[in-house]
Chain A
Amino acid sequence: MPILELQGVTKLFGGVAAVSDVSLSVEPNQIFGVIGPNGAGKTTLFNLISGYYRCDRGKILFNGTQINGLAPNAIVAKGIGRSFQVTSFFPEMTVWENVQAAVLVKNRLSWSLLSNSSTACGEETEALLNQVELLDKRRAQAKTLPAGDRKKLELGIVLGTGAHFLLLDEPTCGMSPTETSATVDLIMRITEQLKLTILFTEHKIDMVMGISSHIAVLHFGTIIASGSPEEIRMNDTVQQIYFGD
């Protein structure tokens, strides 16, 4: 059974469909890439899945249960984690606290009013920071981190929520080739270790082709092609859009 399924999902902004009748399904442990030109609706799609937007039409099913209409925090509780194109974290808090916050919420300890937070869920937080290679910077204030570390931090926060399905919005956005391959390695390693499913979008076609097990192409809010990287490479319409004109 697919872990995530979209059925005829449509989102309108003042009459214009940002996402129109999109259907796709993601199998467990897949690395599913979504590509498409700017403005194709990729981020809108992510916002819909994560609950930030409401669908105007259609359904979104996670592990068989309907999640469209739920608030973002409820969707997170179901196991979907999300990262943003522009890294989103808690700037004034330390790296440790950033990840710890997610862990505390996951473990339902966040309503504890009088215990000491600095020691709570320490082991779990440490393990996560280790995994994203930020343990040595745990006392640094998050806003002082360089760009590459910020991505890692966000990944750490997302993992801290206990998500096993990750929505990654352009995870290597703005990175140099070296940084990109380091990030890709990190993501692949973690996916392998934690048995995650990944749904991501990217502009770097080679990278997407290289790591995805399945790709969907979004154009003006509709899916124009879907299949394995090879099938997409051969697809005429896709060729037209990306290499034609």
Chain B
Amino acid sequence: MTRLVPNRFAPSKVLTAVLVVAFLIILPLCLQRWGSEYYIYLASKVIIWSLFAMSFNLVLGYGGMMSFGHAAFYGLGAYSCALLLVKAAWPAPAAFVAAPLIAALAGLVIGYFSVRIMGIFYFAVLTLSFSQLIYILVFKWRSLTLGDDGIQGVPVPGYISTLDSYVHFYYFALIIAAICIFILWKITRSPFGLVLRSARENPDRASFIGVDLRRYRLAAFTVSAFFSGIAGALFVFMETSVSPDVLKWSISGEVILMGLLGGMHVFPGPIVGAGIMVLLNSFLTSYTEYWALFIGTILILSVLFFPQGVAGIAYEAWQKYFGRSLS
């Protein structure tokens, strides 16, 4: 692998990080001055989906499992948070902690059955089915969830989100997401992360070094469900309402596409994917109601021509020019 540019010209990781952080902090202020509230809302949405996509990628990119039912954890996180705030009148911090725990519990149960089943197809079908079950249950259990009317008017305290502008919420979401993504990053660099990766790259070899594949996959699944639940809770804080749409099967599809588009084997890949998808969605839905057609087509094109994802390609280019690894 030849380097085209000597090392000392490669931007250091620290500098990149500082620039990114500065950008993220200044962004809403710039948008407020020169843009509109809507763009800050959009930026917040990107943060929430980035967190969701990053936690999903623990299972996909690192665990090697394609779950088609992650909407369940996102949605359960959202509904738990909303219900605890509205019906049980819990204080916001308590609801915010409980929501991902409930999502993680669901992850444990669903994961327990899903990792036992041998074969990638069975896994996909089962995760999709569980997610649909939860969707249907939430839909039908009107006495609890108000069905497809959804839950409106969720009380959100002022220190999380203010009524006049999304700026306050943006910073709240940014901090939470940053902490969560940092934890996810630590996990991927930990011994657990390494062994998880080995289980993905060569399951047989992993068994033969003593890895109990099911346990590791279940652990990854549960952790992923936890952080997806946080993303769902953040969603509720932003929208102050929730409807069964958060549990729809297509949500699972969108997060998969984010992982694919952004690149699942590069750690920050899903963030890129989330950004692309949220912005595209915002742009396209103002022109057409056929967003699903668009998603489906992009997914098909990605599968046929583009399996490594955008960030994956960028990563390879980076390696070629600077001869250093990003992760």
Contacts and interface: CB of A to CB of B under 8 A. Distances in A.
Contacts of B197: 90, 92-93
B208 A82 contact: yes
A225 interface: no
Given A88-B204, A90-B205, A117 B210 contact: no
B191 interface: yes
A109 interface: yes
A101 B195 contact: yes
B111 interface: no
B191 A90 contact: no
A104 B205 contact: no
Interface residues of B, number: 27
A120 B195 CA distance: 13
A117 B187 CA distance: 9
B202 interface: yes
A160 B209 contact: yes
B208 A120 contact: no
Interface in A140-170: 157, 160-161
B281 interface: no
B192 A76 contact: no
Given A104-B191, A105-B195, A110 B202 contact: no
B127 interface: no
A16 interface: no
B195 A71 contact: no
A50 B190 contact: no
Contacts of A113: 186-187, 190, 192-193, 223
Interface size class of A (residues with CB under 8 A): 35 or more
B201 to A, nearest CB: 4
Contacts, number: 102
Given A111-B192, A114-B187, A116-B190, A93 B209 contact: no
Interface in B173-195: 183, 186-187, 189-195
A109 B209 CA distance: 13
Contacts of A93: 194, 197-198, 201
A71 B207 contact: yes
B190 to A, nearest CB: 5
Interface string A96-128: 011011101110011111111110100000000
Contacts of A117: 189-191, 193-194
Contacts of A77: 210
B211 interface: yes
B265 interface: yes
B212 interface: yes
A39 to B, nearest CB: 21
B194 A73 contact: no
Interface string B86-130: 000000000000000000000000000000000000000000000
Contacts of A73: 207-213
Interface of B: 183, 186-187, 189-195, 197-198, 201-202, 204-213, 219, 223, 265
Given A101-B195, A114-B187, A157-B209, 14 more contacts: A71-B207, A72-B208, A73-B210, A76-B207, A76-B210, A88-B204, A91-B202, A101-B206, A112-B190, A112-B191, A112-B192, A114-B186, A116-B190, A117-B189
8 contacts: A52-B207, A90-B205, A92-B265, A93-B197, A93-B201, A105-B211, A110-B195, A116-B189
